[in-house]
Amino acid sequence: MPRSHALLLVMAISLAGCESWGPARGGPEVATLASPSATASAAPQPERPRERLDGTPEEYEAMLGPYNKCLKEHGALPKSEWYQGDQVPERSKLIELADKATAADRICGPLYSPLPPWEKDPANPQSRDFARDVVKCLKGKGIKYVEVGANGVDVELGGRNNDVKSIRDGLDLIPDCERQAAAKLTK
């Protein structure tokens, strides 16, 4: 008999003899071994911040703090630090920065990257209605080339021909239309 099978047989006999040591009610206790990864995954995960429709750029930057810190801890620079002044890094340096950021994001993104506003979150069953209402509002305000994106929750401006007027005017009008659409969702 192979050694591993003999060891399993001895363990099974030993555990069978221990059955009478269990608690008086509820049956025998069974000893289990927990791997370090199992106990580590049971540790509470940090709660990711969530953007708000009415959030400011400063508030968003503050939300990125833990994410950017995590990127640095994993050897990557946040995109805001890729450029020094007006100098654009060489192509090879940009590729290197992007590769490091991609690798670090696999770890940091699920833990710290801000979630989209609830109205735009694919996990929200009303997000598709929200997108349709925003598009309807923008069309009502004269934006010619606007549609719901392929994923059903994004709003795409400019159409296939990248109409500059639709993009520019749409970007100006989106906040108001998003507020109107969000008000409809809460009713």
| Average pLDDT for 45-73 | 92
182 and 127 in a common domain: yes
Do both 133 and 79 map to the same domain?
A: no
- In the predicted structure, residue 78 carries a pLDDT above the cut 50: yes
Residue 146, in any domain of the structure: yes
Domain that holds residue 172: 119-186
Q: 153 lies in a domain?
A: yes
Whether residues 132 and 110 share a domain: the answer is: no
Tell me, yes or no, whether 83 and 129 share the same domain.
no
Tokens of 71: 């990127």
Question: How confident is the model over 23-33, as pLDDT tens digits?
Answer: 444 444 444 43
Are 130 and 120 a contacting pair, CB within 8 Å?
Answer: yes
Q: Is residue 123 located within the same domain as residue 163?
A: yes
**Which of 96, 114, 132 delimits the end of a domain?**
114
Question: Out of 21-35, 80-94, 110-124, 151-165, which region has the weakest mean confidence (pLDDT)?
Answer: 21-35
* Domain identity same for 109 and 128: no
In a domain, 109, yes or no: yes
Q: What is the pLDDT of residue 187?
A: 61
Is the pTM for the entire model greater than 0.75? no
* Residues 96 and 125 reside in one and the same domain: no
- Using CA atoms, how far residue 108 sits from 2, 18, 78, 82, 93, in Å, is 45, 45, 11, 18, 22
| Position 63 pLDDT exceeds 60 | yes
pLDDT tens column, 86-118: 888 899 999 999 999 999 999 999 999 999 999
Q: Is residue 99 part of a domain?
A: yes
Backbone phi and psi for residue 138, each to the nearest 5 degrees, phi listed first? -60, -40
Say yes or no to pLDDT of 76 above 90. yes
* Number of structural domains found in the chain: 2
Interacting residues of 79 by C-beta distance below 8 A, sequence separation 6+: 101
Of 127, 118, 116, the residue nearest 63 (C-alpha): 116
Contacts of residues 172-180 at CB distance under 8 Å and 24 or more positions apart, as own/partner, are 173/137, 173/138, 173/141, 173/143, 174/134, 174/138, 175/53, 176/137, 177/133, 177/134, 177/137, 177/138, 177/141, 178/53, 178/119, 178/130, 178/134, 179/53, 179/54, 180/133, 180/137
**Would 26 be classed as within a structural domain?**
no
Same domain, 95 and 127: no
Domain membership of residue 72 (yes or no) is yes
Q: Is residue 43 included in any domain, yes or no?
A: no
Would you say residue 123 has pLDDT above 70? yes
Share of the chain above pLDDT 70, in %: 74
**Claim to verify: residue 123 and residue 181 sit in the same structural domain:** yes
Q: Is the pLDDT of residue 82 over 50?
A: yes
Same domain, 92 and 134: no
> Given 75, 96, 114, which residue is the final one in a domain?
114
User: 86 and 109 share a domain?
Assistant: yes
* Terminal alpha carbon distance of the chain: 72
Within-domain flag for 39: no
